[in-house]
Amino acid sequence: MSLWRLEWLRLWRTGRGAALAAVFVLFGLVGPLTARYLPDLIGGADDDITITMPPPEPADGVEDYLQNAQQLGLVVTVIVAASALAFDSRPALSAFYRTRVGHPRVLLLPRYLVVTAAAVASFLLGALAAWYETAVLLGGLPASRMLLGMALGSLYLCFATAVAALVAGLIRGVLATVVGTLALLLALAVLAALATASRCLGRREV
């Protein structure tokens, strides 16, 4: 049995692939529902308090999905990636693998590509579910922007699993890999936000 087939079987027989797909599809179904009915629920929660919210727009349904996908969905993706990529967390199993391959990349590449493909496919399924339900509940969205957003989201998940592979090579243990990966991704997001804020402030001063 090849390592590629082994990783596909491991991903689905352990339930990690199904869990990953279920999380993103659930967010894709819940996001548009939340955007559509949350103003009604908040407005009718208390007759003594009047809360005015703008009517939901089609972009709100997809925005809710992306927020969940970039937070909880990313956490689940990193956990699944760390479980596959941190093969040194089990010394006996790691020794078994390493004595049978010529280079660590022979072990790493199938695991990285299989996990990444599963994460991207799950994200795209969730995005398609959000797109369809948004069109039904809130209205249509431009196909070009949706496809661009789906492509960029997929690219970010490829980057996130690559970071997990890097951290797994430096830190032993699944939990340590998860924490290290999420910390590094958060630090990069903060740096990007600071750089954007700095550019905006610089333009205002000019």
Residue 163 and residue 81 in contact, taking contact as beta carbons nearer than 8 Å = no
**Residue 26 sits in which domain range?**
3-205
- Cα–Cα dist 12/17, whole Å: 5
Indicate the number of domains in the chain. Answer: 1
In the predicted structure, residue 47 carries a pLDDT above the cut 60:
no
**pLDDT tens digit sequence for 160-206:** 999 999 998 888 788 999 999 999 999 998 888 887 777 766 655 55
Write down the pLDDT at residue 57.
Answer: 83
> pLDDT band for position 85 (50/70/90)?
confident
What's the chain's average pLDDT?
A: 83
Nearest to 158 by CA among 116, 112, 122: 116
**pLDDT tens digit sequence for 97-146:** 666 666 667 778 888 999 999 999 999 999 999 999 999 888 888 999 99
Backbone angles phi, psi at 16, to 5 degrees: -70, -40
Residue 30 and residue 69 in contact, taking contact as beta carbons nearer than 8 Å = no
